[in-house]
Amino acid sequence: MIPAAILTDIEGTTSSIAFVHSVLFPYSRARMAGYVRDHAGDLSEILDAVRAEAGAAPDPADCIAQLERWHDEDRKIAPLKTLQGLIWTEGYASGELKGHVYPDVAAALHRWRAAGIALYVYSSGSVAAQRLLFGHSAAGDLNPLFAGNFDTAVGGKREAASYRAIAAAIAIPAERILFLSDIAEELVAAQAAGMAVTQLVREGALPESAPWPLAASFAEILGEVAA
């Protein structure tokens, strides 16, 4: 059965995990202190959120030190994610950054969208970061292909309730949604919510067996759906 909607993860699914950890994170880490010093007057809400979260002293230098610690620990904390997004926005706008997507992704997204399938994103990265990556991808602006984006504000990616909430938000029964991810625990949660799932295995050989369909690329998923 052709799904009414496809919900996709990003890291390890549409895009290389290495891009986030080897390109985006080092880019924001290297520029974080300078960005906060240069824009401190415009970042009062972010700095107040840092102080509230960590009890940091009022001095911006203390907030910078706390943000850098969170960054190094890869903490999923709102003021850090917001600041990273601002830094990446500058990088994408300048052309220093281009969002990575696997070569098979853009063609499949266009094919599925032309077939009437609604496309959505669910990632641990913020919605703003998602839209930056797809809006400035190496394959061009892919944002118009998506009907909506979700991040962990809807809930954890390993919790079935999150997928039920997404199904309710897009008003499509869970059983009519196909979720794509490389992470088994996420697929288990989506299945528990009633969704169909497919696991992307971008690196290495496909396992001989799995409790769900496996694919090495988007070209193998719903290949019979023609544009």
The arrangement of strands across the sheet holding 196-200 comes to 148-150, 118-122, 5-8, 177-181, 196-200, 214-215
How do residues 19-53 score in pLDDT, each as one tens digit? Answer: 988 999 999 999 999 999 999 889 999 999 999 98
Q: How confident is the model at residue 224 (pLDDT cuts 50, 70, 90)?
A: low
From the DSSP assignment, how many helices (H) and strands (E) are in the chain? 9, 6
Asked, for residue 90, whether it belongs to a domain, the answer is: yes
pLDDT for residue 54: 85
186 and 171, same domain (yes or no): yes
* Overall average pLDDT of the 73-83 stretch: 89
75 and 107, same domain (yes or no): no
Q: What phi, psi does 56 have (nearest 5°)?
A: -65, 155
Token code pair at residue 191: 């299945």
C-beta separation of 147 from 170 below 8 A: yes
Query: Is the predicted pLDDT of residue 227 greater than 70, yes or no?
Result: no
Query: Is the predicted pLDDT of residue 111 greater than 80, yes or no?
Result: yes
Token code pair at residue 62: 């203390």
107 and 72, same domain (yes or no): no
Burial class (CB in 10 A: 0-12, 13-18, 19+), 180: buried
pLDDT for residue 226: 44
26 and 70, same domain (yes or no): yes
Count how many domains the chain has: 2
182 and 108, same domain (yes or no): yes
Residue reference for tokens 């061009």: 140
71 and 119, same domain (yes or no): no
**CA pair distance 3, 175, nearest whole angstrom:** 8
C-beta separation of 148 from 170 below 8 A: yes
Coil, helix or strand at residue 9: coil
Asked, for residue 227, whether it belongs to a domain, the answer is: no
How do residues 46-73 score in pLDDT, each as one tens digit? Answer: 999 999 988 766 788 889 999 999 999 9
- Give the domain CATH number at 77: 1.10.720
Residue reference for tokens 């990616």: 157
Number of C-beta neighbours around residue 140 at 10 A: 13
199 and 128, same domain (yes or no): yes
11 and 57, same domain (yes or no): no
**CA pair distance 88, 29, nearest whole angstrom:** 10
Token code pair at residue 186: 């996420």
Query: Angle at Cα 158 formed by Cα 207 and Cα 122, nearest 5°?
Result: 90
Q: Domain span at residue 104?
A: 5-16+100-220
* Overall average pLDDT of the 202-227 stretch: 83
Lowest mean pLDDT among 59-68, 148-157, 182-191: 59-68
25 and 90, same domain (yes or no): yes
Average pLDDT, the chain: 93
pLDDT for residue 207: 85
Strand partners, 224: none
Asked, for residue 190, whether it belongs to a domain, the answer is: yes
